[in-house]
Amino acid sequence: MTNDADGNDVPAGDDGFDPVEATIGEIHGAFAAGTLTATALVETTLDRIDRYDADLAAYIHVNEHARDRARDLDDRYAESGLTGPLHGIPVAVKDNHDTADMPTSVGSAALAEVVPPRDATVISRLRDAGAIVIGKTNLQELSFGTDTISSARGATRNPYDTDRRPSGSSGGTAVAVAATLATVGTGTDTCSSVRSPPAFTNLVGVRPTMGLVSRTGIAPLSLTQDTAGPIARTVTDAARTLEAMVGYDPEDPLTARGVGNVPERGYAAALDPDALDGARIGVVRKWFEPTDPGNVPKGAAEGIAETLDAALEAMADAGATLVDPVDVVDDDELDAARVVGFEFMRDVDRYLDELGETTPVDSLEALVETGTMADSIERRIRDGGILSVDVDGLDTDPDYLRALALRERLRTETIDRLVRDDLDAVVYPPATVPPVRIPDLQPFEEMRCQLSAHTGLPAVVVQAGFTDDGLPVGIELLGRPFDERRLLALAFAYEAKTDHRRPPDAFS
């Protein structure tokens, strides 16, 4: 048995297996030892959701079929062993991934009962790998922002301080994984969404190279920038989850770019505790400073800076050469390459149209006009002019075409900088501010998400440590296209040296 925050006994699984902080490898080891079954693990995970999620609001839907799935996997394990690399693993899935056996709300109360006709490609691959979708997690409504507020579930709370936000938009998944309401999870990232939530909840997040993971069946925000990625408590678990997600999908032609770029032995096999020894890492020093000091609470900037400096020192102590500073691209041009405002309505309308009669609305405008949307998201849509975009004229819109061309140039410039300076990666913070207190909103201008989002290059966030008041801080590594293997190895080496992961006290 283990205990919850109130000291109550919680079933830990067969023969006392404790799932809190358990990795995929440890769970599979317990299966092999006969001390755990998928059924027991699911029961314990569901029990933790029952006990803790009222305080956290991580989930919108819990999978009523999870127990049946676990029992089936146990039967198959008894006959032939593991069915795949994620056999029996409870996975939290952001509720913008289509699932044919439960609703996909995209955080909208108006879409809360919509059950898509099929699984997203990523969901099919996770299930093929043996995963158990334990539930669908809360998100910033329609993924439009960085707070994790939705009309479907309200505001998700940070398990390290429930008065604070976990960032977003994939905050529900991050909170579920951080508090062991799942073993691993998936999110989507248009700009920050699988990176700032892990940074704020002491986790690992991976934004893969565009074209590595299919977008089919994932409710879009901006298809040019959208990708799915794993969120986990360790680099190894993130690597193993990514392995199950990648691959060519003929329904998403962009994934043709990934063909030949997925290592045969996967990502976890290359994890090396000595990977930082001899590595060259560029420090994008200008992004360590707040864009607007007024966004940072008194004393917080110093605490974050000290944590980040210690992270850089640890990399150097592990044998990395830090090239400090490195100037990668022009910040104004990076801002100008954002295409979300152009594509949001177009891409949401297409997604709703594909759902057909399963959805009560057929457009973003109609969804806004239902009056059900969370106030802060509706205001951003209306005030941002999203509903006035001429989506039929985008193919000839000079501003949109200029932004698309700029993205390609910035991608080339960034790759050239990595090659020219012989860099394995560049490093910077995912955010320059701590998680804000509710009801404040997370200031987007302090997110450092745009280099990866606007170039399509891969990035990994790993734990950097904690501020003096116990708030998690993350650090981000960005590398060359389809070089996830190297990035994950560097993150693993840093993780091995620093060991910053620890569960939130109130939920351990």
pLDDT in tens, the chain (508 residues): 344 333 433 344 445 789 999 999 999 999 999 999 999 999 999 999 999 999 999 999 999 999 999 999 999 999 999 999 999 999 999 999 999 999 999 999 999 999 999 999 999 999 999 999 999 999 999 999 999 999 999 999 999 999 999 999 999 999 999 999 999 999 999 999 999 999 999 999 999 999 999 999 999 999 999 999 999 999 999 999 999 999 999 999 999 999 999 999 999 999 999 999 999 999 999 999 999 999 999 889 899 999 999 999 999 999 999 999 999 999 999 999 999 999 999 999 999 999 999 999 999 999 999 999 999 999 999 999 999 999 999 999 999 999 999 999 999 999 999 999 999 999 999 999 999 999 999 999 999 999 999 999 999 999 999 999 999 999 999 999 999 999 999 999 999 999 999 999 999 8
In this predicted structure, what is the pLDDT of residue 10? 38
Give dist(CA 129, CA 117) in Å, integer: 21
Any idea which residue has 């295409």 for tokens?
339
Task: Write out the two tokens for 241.
Answer: 């989850």
Distances (CA, A) of 131 to 68, 153, 231, 368: 13, 25, 14, 35
Give the amino acid at 294. Answer: G
Note every long-range contact of 356-361, with CB atoms under 8 Å and residues 24 or more positions apart, other chains counting: 358/114, 358/115, 358/116, 358/117, 359/111, 359/114, 360/110, 360/111, 360/114, 361/110, 361/111
Tokens of 383: 């005030």
Instruction: Write the DSSP symbol of residue 140.
Output: S
How far apart (Å, rounded) are the C-alpha atoms in residues 255 and 317?
38
DSSP 358: G
Peptide bond into 363 cis (omega under 30): no
- CATH superfamily for 18-507 is Amidase signature (AS) domain (3.90.1300.10)
Q: And the tokens for 402?
A: 């200029």
Contact (Cβ atoms closer than 8 angstroms) between residue 104 and residue 69: no
SS (H, E, C) 326-341: CCCCCHHHHHHCCCHH
Within 10 angstroms of residue 321's Cβ, the number of other Cβ atoms is 16
The pairing of beta strand 59-62 with beta strand 132-137: antiparallel
pLDDT of residue 439: 97
Measure Cα distances from 316 to 57, 61, 282, 334, 499 in Å: 39, 44, 12, 29, 16
Catalytically annotated residues = 94, 169, 193
CA nearest neighbour of 102 among 59, 71, 141, 142 = 59
Q: Are β-strands 184-189 and 90-94 bridged in parallel, bridged antiparallel, or unpaired?
A: parallel
> What CA–CA distance (Å, rounded) separates 163 from 141?
20
Distance CA 249, CA 222 (A): 19
Q: In 3D, which of 163, 193, 224, 59 has the Cα closest to residue 435?
A: 163
Prediction pTM value: 0.96
Question: In whole angstroms, what separates CA 438 from the centre of its chain?
Answer: 21
